Amino acid sequence: MEKGREKDKETTYFDLDKRTPPDGTTCRLYSLCKEIAAGCDAGTDNTIEDVYKKLTNKDGSGIIDHLKADLNFDVTKYEDFPKCQFLKLLYRYEKEPGGARARIHFFG
C-alpha cells in the first residue's frame, strides 16, 4: 500500500446523499482527505497529503483559500459534516475532466 493512501477502506461518508455522519466518523479535514484519496486511482498523485494541499496550503492556492480570498466565504464557520460534503463536491468539480473552470469561474 502506498504511503498516504488507504485504498482498502474506501468510504463515502461525505457524499451528498448522507444526512448525518455514520456513528464514529470524525468530520475533520483529514478524514475528508483520507476519503477522497481512498477513492482515487493508485497511479495518481492523490495521497492524503496531496488532497490536503489541494484543499488548503501555505501559498493560498487551495480551494478553501480561494473561497476565502476571492469570495470572502469562510467554510470554517459551518458545521463540520456539511462543510466536508461541500468541500468534497467542490473537489470533484475541480478534478473532473474539463474541471470546474468550465463551470465555476472564481478559481482563476
pLDDT at site 51 = 93
- For the chain, the average pLDDT equals 80
Instruction: Count how many Cα atoms sit within 13 Å of the Cα of residue 52 in the half-sphere of its side chain.
Output: 11
When pLDDT is averaged across residues 9-34 and rounded to a whole number, the result is 83
Give per-residue pLDDT as tens, 74-90.
Answer: 998 999 999 999 999 99
Q: How far is CA 89 from CA 8, 17, 32, 35, 96, in A?
A: 22, 12, 11, 12, 11
pLDDT at site 6 = 45
When pLDDT is averaged across residues 53-76 and rounded to a whole number, the result is 94
- Per-residue pLDDT at 2 exceeds 70: no
- For residues 10 and 45, the answer to whether their CB atoms sit within 8 Å is no
Greater confidence, 44 or 101?
44
